[in-house]
């Protein structure tokens, strides 16, 4: 069966590498825009490198399947199951000795492109690997119709997800008659990057090696480090930043905060195109968060969308011809809204809560409810701005974000720190006692501070890529790639090849 035209098949598999974090409504919209840009990039690469259209013949369509997965791996008295979606691409595989490259899904839907494009597919061509991918439980279509209710969402956790990976590995092994010669190497970016490392850590007898890209393996309740990196990146001349830029952004948000503490916010509502009046402090926090998202999203996804980068942000914020720093922030907001084709910005906290409370299963929608639940019960990761080093709004507080856990899920805000502590104790935070793991991070990416940045041993390797953002190494190669990114990909390739060669020799 030949692949259908790409416009039909191409859906957001890369979202599994993009959704990490919270933020306001604007951050989720930025992620969608980044996704669309990366979709076009992968599409262009795929069309250039593979003959996929019927008129040319060529690659057959990857196999899509549904696998009956236990709902609760840790209570065998619970006989419930759900159907978990997966893909398999055998086109590049040499069955006798070819490894298995396992792409791990994360906090969004997955599609067939999870086994058709990306760094892991480029490597699979060289090492003649079988390509498989698995959609994460409770995301995309891998969820029961009632799974998002407060009663049933309890089965969403990284521990259950890792057990899913183990059960799925056994299933694929039986389906394709795999032997010990077919070594498994898993790949993931962002939260799935953490899962990739943890799968190797917890199931070393099942997975031979792992590549963990932009993986925040250290859970943290109050993630102050996020905006510290934002501050550093705004000051970094390598990516178009400067101290003048950082100072202008900080000054603009300081003026914004001064107005927010007053009784009249009508000026802000007009100047920054709010869809509604700011009713109370909760709406003011949403407003401040949405504006901060523009800066945070630009840094996190620097250069991922043409024209949306730190250099352009700093050009606007340091251009005195545009007026005061407050007026420049207005220009930055308008530039963002135009790029998103927005007439106004929804700053209603009640609307945000209603969205998080919705239990309707929408397979291809953004998965805010599920991911917020995991932050409340496992990770924290709340990006705050309560210390002096933060250049954004002081309205971004920890208390506001953990209170949402109670408002949406009935989870005691005081229990979130305990959940974070357990996660770090269970996995080892950023000191995993494991082997055969490559941690890859970009130093512009705010999430890199929660990852592994130094070699832990000769086989627990850390690569920090100068000048790159979130999960940059996972995308296909393009001409504009920085030399540092090209070198990092070569090191990943070399390390995987060396490990496979060692294992192959030892098996003789």
Higher-confidence residue of 479 and 270: namely 270
| Helix, strand counts (H, E) of the chain | 16, 10
Give domain status of residue 119, yes or no: yes
| Structure confidence at residue 22 (pLDDT) | 47
| Structure confidence at residue 304 (pLDDT) | 78
Give domain status of residue 48, yes or no: no
Residue that finishes a domain, picked among 390, 419, 448: 419
Are 503 and 183 spatial neighbours (Cβ–Cβ below 8 Å)? Answer: yes
- Residue 465 tokens read as 């890529």
| Structure confidence at residue 363 (pLDDT) | 75
| Structure confidence at residue 424 (pLDDT) | 98
Domain count within the chain: 2
Residues 6+ apart with CB under 8 A from 48: none
% of the chain with per-residue pLDDT over 90: 76
Higher-confidence residue of 333 and 35: namely 333
Looking at the fold, whether 397 and 444 belong to one and the same domain comes out as no
Helices (H), 261-324: 266-271, 281-300, 310-317
Are 401 and 372 spatial neighbours (Cβ–Cβ below 8 Å)? Answer: no
Q: Does position 225 have pLDDT exceeding 60, yes or no?
A: yes
CA atoms within 13 A on the CB side of 378: 22
Give domain status of residue 12, yes or no: no
Give domain status of residue 35, yes or no: no
The model's confidence at residue 34, banded by pLDDT at 50, 70 and 90, is low
Domain that includes residue 175, residue range: 61-219+429-506
| Structure confidence at residue 12 (pLDDT) | 37
Phi, psi of 47 (to 5 degrees): -65, -35
Q: Does position 361 have pLDDT exceeding 80, yes or no?
A: yes
Give domain status of residue 186, yes or no: yes
The model's confidence at residue 113, banded by pLDDT at 50, 70 and 90, is confident
The model's confidence at residue 428, banded by pLDDT at 50, 70 and 90, is very high
Looking at the fold, whether 302 and 364 belong to one and the same domain comes out as yes
Please tell me the distance from the alpha carbon of residue 424 to that of residue 430, in angstroms, as a whole number: 8
Phi, psi of 358 (to 5 degrees): -65, 130
Looking at the fold, whether 272 and 178 belong to one and the same domain comes out as no
Active site residue 190: yes
Q: Does position 24 have pLDDT exceeding 80, yes or no?
A: no
Give domain status of residue 199, yes or no: yes
% of the chain with per-residue pLDDT over 70: 87
Residues 135-186: pLDDT tens digits?
999 999 999 889 999 999 999 999 999 999 999 999 999 999 999 999 999 9
Looking at the fold, whether 109 and 236 belong to one and the same domain comes out as no
What stretch of H or E contains 408?
A: helix 398-409
Are 131 and 120 spatial neighbours (Cβ–Cβ below 8 Å)? Answer: yes
Which of 190, 194, 196, 274 is catalytic? The answer is 190
- The pTM (predicted TM-score) of the whole model is 0.91
Find the mean pLDDT for residues 259-266: 92
Residue that finishes a domain, picked among 358, 392, 419: 419
Is residue 96 packed enough to be buried (19+ CB in 10 Å), middle (13-18) or exposed (0-12)? exposed
Q: Which is it for the CA torsion 389, 392, 393, 398, positive or negative?
A: negative
Residues 6+ apart with CB under 8 A from 374: 107, 156, 157, 158
Looking at the fold, whether 453 and 408 belong to one and the same domain comes out as no
- Residue 248 tokens read as 């202008």
Q: Does position 413 have pLDDT exceeding 90, yes or no?
A: yes
Looking at the fold, whether 130 and 153 belong to one and the same domain comes out as yes
Looking at the fold, whether 103 and 134 belong to one and the same domain comes out as yes
The model's confidence at residue 345, banded by pLDDT at 50, 70 and 90, is very high
Give domain status of residue 33, yes or no: no
Q: Does position 356 have pLDDT exceeding 90, yes or no?
A: yes
Please tell me the distance from the alpha carbon of residue 164 to that of residue 172, in angstroms, as a whole number: 12
Residues 364-384: pLDDT tens digits?
777 899 999 999 999 999 999
| Structure confidence at residue 263 (pLDDT) | 85
Active site residue 470: yes
| Structure confidence at residue 501 (pLDDT) | 92
Residues 6+ apart with CB under 8 A from 359: 146, 148, 149, 150, 369
Residues 290-304: pLDDT tens digits?
999 999 999 998 887
Find the mean pLDDT for residues 4-20: 37
Residues 485-502: pLDDT tens digits?
999 999 999 999 999 998
Residues 39-93: pLDDT tens digits?
666 666 666 666 544 433 455 788 999 999 999 999 988 999 999 999 999 999 9
| Structure confidence at residue 59 (pLDDT) | 58
Q: How long, in residues, is the chain?
A: 508
Q: What is the CATH number of the domain that holds 215?
A: 3.40.50.1820
Residue that finishes a domain, picked among 385, 419, 453: 419
Q: Does position 16 have pLDDT exceeding 70, yes or no?
A: no
| Structure confidence at residue 405 (pLDDT) | 97
Looking at the fold, whether 195 and 155 belong to one and the same domain comes out as yes
Looking at the fold, whether 93 and 203 belong to one and the same domain comes out as yes
Write down the mean pLDDT value for the chain: 89
Looking at the fold, whether 379 and 500 belong to one and the same domain comes out as no
The model's confidence at residue 8, banded by pLDDT at 50, 70 and 90, is very low
Please tell me the distance from the alpha carbon of residue 246 to that of residue 391, in angstroms, as a whole number: 7
| Structure confidence at residue 303 (pLDDT) | 82
Are 374 and 158 spatial neighbours (Cβ–Cβ below 8 Å)? Answer: yes
Which of 443, 445, 448, 451 is catalytic? The answer is 445
Looking at the fold, whether 398 and 288 belong to one and the same domain comes out as yes
Looking at the fold, whether 311 and 178 belong to one and the same domain comes out as no
Q: Does position 9 have pLDDT exceeding 50, yes or no?
A: no
Higher-confidence residue of 51 and 192: namely 192
Please tell me the distance from the alpha carbon of residue 304 to that of residue 444, in angstroms, as a whole number: 12
Are 450 and 217 spatial neighbours (Cβ–Cβ below 8 Å)? Answer: yes
Q: Please, what is the Cα angle at 139 between 134 and 143, to 5 degrees?
A: 95
Give domain status of residue 45, yes or no: no
Active site residue 504: no
Are 108 and 190 spatial neighbours (Cβ–Cβ below 8 Å)? Answer: no
| Structure confidence at residue 58 (pLDDT) | 53
Find the mean pLDDT for residues 82-111: 94
Q: Does position 431 have pLDDT exceeding 70, yes or no?
A: yes
């Amino acid at each position: 069966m030949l692949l259908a035209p790409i416009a039909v098949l191409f859906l957001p598999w890369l979202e599994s590498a993009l959704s990490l974090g919270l933020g306001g409504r604007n951050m989720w919209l930025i992620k969608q825009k980044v996704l669309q840009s990366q979709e076009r990039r992968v599409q262009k690469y795929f069309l250039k490198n593979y003959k996929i259209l019927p008129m040319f013949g060529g690659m057959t369509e990857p196999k899509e399947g549904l696998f009956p997965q236990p709902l609760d791996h840790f209570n065998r008295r619970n006989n419930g199951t759900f159907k978990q979606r997966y893909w398999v691409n055998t086109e590049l595989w040499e069955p006798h000795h070819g490894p298995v490259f396992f792409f791990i899904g994360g906090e969004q839907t997955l599609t067939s492109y999870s086994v058709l494009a990306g760094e892991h597919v480029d490597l699979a061509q060289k090492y003649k690997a079988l390509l498989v991918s698995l959609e994460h439980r409770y995301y995309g279509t891998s969820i029961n119709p009632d799974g998002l209710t407060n009663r049933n969402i309890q089965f969403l956790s990284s521990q259950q997800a890792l057990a899913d990976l183990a059960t799925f590995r056994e299933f694929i092994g039986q389906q394709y008659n795999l032997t010990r010669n077919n070594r498994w190497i898993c790949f993931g970016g962002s939260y799935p990057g953490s899962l990739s490392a943890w799968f190797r850590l917890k199931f070393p007898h099942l997975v031979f090696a792992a590549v963990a890209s932009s993986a925040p393996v250290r859970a943290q309740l109050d993630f102050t480090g996020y905006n510290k990196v934002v501050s550093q990146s705004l000051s970094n001349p390598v990516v178009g930043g400067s101290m003048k830029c950082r100072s202008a952004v900080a000054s603009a948000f300081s003026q914004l905060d001064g107005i927010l503490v007053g009784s009249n916010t009508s000026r802000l509502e007009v100047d920054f195109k709010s869809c509604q009046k700011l009713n109370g402090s909760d709406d003011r926090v949403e407003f401040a968060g949405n504006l901060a998202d523009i800066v945070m999203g630009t840094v996190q996804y620097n250069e991922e969308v043409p024209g949306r980068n730190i250099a352009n942000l700093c050009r606007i914020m340091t251009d005195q011809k545009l007026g005061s720093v407050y007026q420049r922030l207005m220009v930055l907001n308008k530039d963002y809204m135009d790029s998103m084709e927005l007439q106004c910005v929804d700053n209603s906290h009640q609307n945000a809560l209603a969205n998080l409370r919705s239990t309707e299963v929408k397979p291809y929608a953004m998965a805010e409810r599920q991911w917020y639940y995991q932050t409340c019960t496992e990770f924290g990761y709340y990006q705050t701005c309560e210390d002096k080093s933060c250049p954004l709004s002081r309205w971004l507080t920890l208390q506001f974000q953990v209170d949402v856990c109670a408002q949406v899920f009935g989870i005691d805000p005081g229990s979130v720190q305990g959940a974070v502590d357990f996660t770090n104790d269970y996995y080892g935070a950023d000191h995993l006692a494991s082997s055969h793991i490559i941690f890859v991070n970009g130093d512009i990416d705010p999430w890199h501070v929660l990852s592994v940045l130094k070699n832990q041993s000769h086989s627990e390797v850390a690569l920090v890529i100068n000048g790159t953002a979130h999960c940059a190494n996972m995308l296909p190669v393009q001409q504009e790639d920085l030399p540092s990114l090209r070198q990092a990909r070569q090191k990943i390739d070399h390390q995987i090849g060396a490990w496979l060669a060692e294992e192959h020799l030892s098996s003789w």
